[in-house]
């Protein structure tokens, strides 16, 4: 799912709501990387996890490859 504008404009509130819906549905692995929006997705995940039980989410972040 694109939250960094690679597939067109992304709505911040909708992106955070999507993360919340995934967590509520039992998804516990959030996979991202700096390649997807140069850190934008990580900021969205950080905001989405505020006030939640962070220990219930596993965050996988890839790094090293960036877009020109």
Q: pLDDT tens across 12-68, in order?
A: 899 899 999 999 999 999 988 777 677 788 888 999 999 877 788 998 888 776 666
Residue 38 lies in a domain: yes
Q: Is 36 annotated as catalytic?
A: yes
**What pTM did the predictor assign?**
0.77
DSSP count for the chain of H helices, then E strands:
2, 2
Determine the Cα–Cα distance for residues 52 and 4; give it in Å rounded to an integer: 22
Domain annotation covers residue 68: no
Domain that holds residue 35: 12-62
- CB neighbourhood size of 56 (10 A): 10
The single residue listed with the structure tokens 């934008």 is 40
Provide the 8-state DSSP code for 44: H
Q: Which of 36, 37, 42, 49 is catalytic?
A: 36
User: 39 in a domain, yes or no?
Assistant: yes
Does 55 reside within a domain?
A: yes
User: Is 20 contained in some domain?
Assistant: yes
């Amino acid at each position: 799912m694109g939250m960094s504008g690679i597939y067109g404009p992304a709505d911040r509130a909708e992106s955070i709501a999507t993360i919340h819906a995934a967590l509520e549905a039992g998804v516990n692995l959030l996979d991202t990387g700096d390649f997807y929006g140069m850190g934008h997705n990580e900021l969205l995940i950080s905001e989405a996890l505020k006030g939640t039980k962070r220990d219930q989410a596993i965050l996988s972040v890839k790094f090293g490859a960036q877009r020109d």
